[in-house]
Amino acid sequence: MKYVLKKVLSCIITLFIVSLLVFVAFSLIPGDPALSRLGTNATEAALASLRHQMGLDRPLAVRYFEWLASAIRGDFGKSYSYSMTVTSMIADKLPITLTLMLYSMVLMVIISVPLGVYASYKEGTAIDKVIQIINQITMAIPPFFSGILITLIFGMTLKMFTPGGFVSVKISPSRFFGFMFFPSLAIALPKSAMVLNLLYSSLNAEKKKDYVRTAYSRGNKSKTVFFGHMLKNASIPTITFLGMALADMIAGSIIIEQVFGIPGLGRILLTSIQNRDYPVVIAIIMLIACVVIVSNLLVDIIYKLVDPRVKD
């Protein structure tokens, strides 16, 4: 219990540091947001009133704590570019990106686990080598190129989906999920190659361990040993990797959203960065930081429960 409290506390401190760094960094960027809203021929009075309205006339520290206080309550202020709250903007886009990530996570497991197990089971055979070569190449394909290739093959040649034809789930759930399959595949493919590789090498490492030899010497069948013992042990690093891949998938989804024209969180982040709509940028970065830090925390805590030997 003490361990958990300590971890949670340190997470809160970390989040606090991140928010401070991010907020200060974006506040120090040269340029007056009020001026860029009103233009050079704005009167000084109008500028002052807008600055006041935007809260820019107060010291940085005060602004930070005010922002923090409302951020904790889920209020990230108002977007500069859109007359709407940041929270409502994000709430609108988050489901799209989450679907994309979840979808690709599932695809990743479906693709990589059977292939990795099969390749290791057939280690040394021609099939194993073919899988290895394809895997090596897949790993080298950056997500944006895999996206383009998928568009080219499945979208334009096979006409299995409409490139750029994102459909909101509100309009048609079936078309939404049908469309999302392909971008998810684009994210999942290179990652699956990594998972496959990891699973393959940890399975092969297990083969050399004593318990496997013991199991064989007790007369167990090859299949029982493989699936009953080794696979379970080899899964541990793989599952850890899957957990960590979450952060990478956020990055992947930013690019893939661009390739497939999906109006998700990544698209908003990107345009807000380019439009210097800082309230939105800060909020999205904090959101990602939260997801990353909290999922790390959960993994830590559960590891501790599973294996009390884990050091504090």
Partner 1 sequence: MKQKKISFNLILGSVLLAVTLVPALIGLIWTPYDPEAMNSSLKLAGVSIRHIYGCDNFGRDIFSRIMAGSGITLLIAVGTVAFGSIIGTAIGAFTGYFGGIIDEALMRINDVALAFPSLLLALVMVSLLGTGKYQVMLALGIAFVPSYARIVRSEYIRIKNLDYVKAARLAGASDLRIMFVHILPNTRTVLLSSVMIGFNNAILAEAGLSFLGIGVQPPDASLGRMLSEAQAYMFTNAGYVLFTGCTIVMIILGFSLLSKEIK
Partner 2 sequence: MRNFTKRFLVMLLIFAMTTALCACAGGKAGSADADSLITIGIPQDLDDSLDPHIAEGAGTREVLFNVFEGLVKPNSNGDLIPAVASDYSINEDGTVYTFTLREGVKFHNGSKVTVQDVKASLDKCAGTESGEPLVAAFSAVKEINTPDDKTIEVVLKESDTDFLPNMTAAILPADHLDASTQPIGTGPYKYVSRSPQENIILESFDDYWGDKAKIKTVVLKIVSDADTIVMNLEGGSIDLMARLSTTQAAQLSDKFDVYEGTMNLVQALYINNSVEPLNNTKVRQALCYAVDIQEIMDFVSDGKGTETGSSMFPAFGKYYMKELNDTYNTDIDKAKKLLAEAGYPDGFEFTITVASNYQQHVDTAQVLKEQFKKIGVTANINLVEWDTWLNDVYIGRNFETTVVGVDASTLTASAMLGRFVSDSGKNFINYSNPEYDKVYAEAIATVDDNVRTEKYKTCEKILSEDAANVYIQDLPNLVAVNKKFGGYEFYPLYVMDFSKLYVK
Of 141, 143, 138, 145, residue with least CA distance to 195: 138
Question: Measured from the CB of residue 46, what is the shortest distance to partner 2 in angstroms?
Answer: 8
| Residues forming a β-bridge with 78 | 85
Contacts of 247 (CB under 8 A, 6+ apart): 288, 291, 292
Binding residue for partner 1 (CB under 8 A) from 3, 118, 144, 241?
144
Q: What b/e sequence results for 129-139 when a residue is b if at least 16 CB atoms lie within 10 Å of its CB, and e otherwise? A: eebeeebeebe
Contact indicator for 108, 245 with CB cutoff of 8 Å: yes
Binding of residue 98 to partner 1 (CB under 8 A): no
Binding of residue 224 to partner 2 (CB under 8 A): no
Residue 114's binding partner among partner 1, partner 2, none (Cβ under 5 to 8 angstroms by kind) is none
Binding residue for partner 1 (CB under 8 A) from 9, 12, 134, 137?
137
Binding of residue 160 to partner 1 (CB under 8 A): no
Segment interacting with partner 1 (CB under 8 A) among 43-51, 75-83, 225-233, 266-274: 266-274
User: CB 107: neighbour CB atoms within 10 A?
Assistant: 19
Binding of residue 303 to partner 2 (CB under 8 A): yes
Binding residue for partner 2 (CB under 8 A) from 155, 190, 252, 279?
155
Contact indicator for 115, 200 with CB cutoff of 8 Å: no
Using CA atoms, how far apart are residues 296 and 304, in angstroms rounded to an integer? 12
For residue 207, the Cα-to-chain-centroid distance in whole angstroms is 33
What is the biggest distance separating any 2 CA atoms in the chain, rounded to whole angstroms? 90
Binding residue for partner 2 (CB under 8 A) from 21, 136, 164, 221?
164
Binding of residue 296 to partner 1 (CB under 8 A): yes
Structure tokens at 5: 């409290």
Within residues 3-62, the interface with partner 2 by CB under 8 A covers 35-41, 43
CA atoms within 13 A on the CB side of 284: 27
Of 178, 170, 172, 4, residue with least CA distance to 95: 170
For residue 187, the Cα-to-chain-centroid distance in whole angstroms is 10
Binding of residue 178 to partner 2 (CB under 8 A): no
Binding of residue 140 to partner 1 (CB under 8 A): yes
Q: How far from 309 is each of 243, 285, 305, CA to CA, in Å?
A: 21, 34, 9
How many chain residues interact with partner 2 (CB under 8 A)?
67
Binding of residue 81 to partner 2 (CB under 8 A): yes
Binding of residue 128 to partner 1 (CB under 8 A): no
Using CA atoms, how far apart are residues 177 and 173, in angstroms rounded to an integer? 6
> 47 — phi, psi (to 5°)?
-60, -50
Binding residue for partner 2 (CB under 8 A) from 227, 232, 251, 310?
232
Segment interacting with partner 2 (CB under 8 A) among 115-123, 139-147, 199-207, 233-241: 233-241
Residue 247's binding partner among partner 1, partner 2, none (Cβ under 5 to 8 angstroms by kind) is partner 1
Footprint of partner 1 (CB under 8 A): 13-14, 17-18, 21-22, 25-26, 29, 136-137, 139-145, 148-149, 151-152, 156, 247-248, 250-252, 254-255, 258-259, 269-270, 273-274, 276, 281, 285, 288-289, 292-293, 296
Write out the residues near partner 2 by the rule CB under 8 A: 35-41, 43, 79, 81-84, 89, 91-95, 98-99, 101-102, 105, 151, 155-156, 161-173, 232-233, 235-236, 239-240, 242-243, 246, 258, 261, 263, 267-268, 271, 274-277, 295, 298-299, 302-303, 305-307
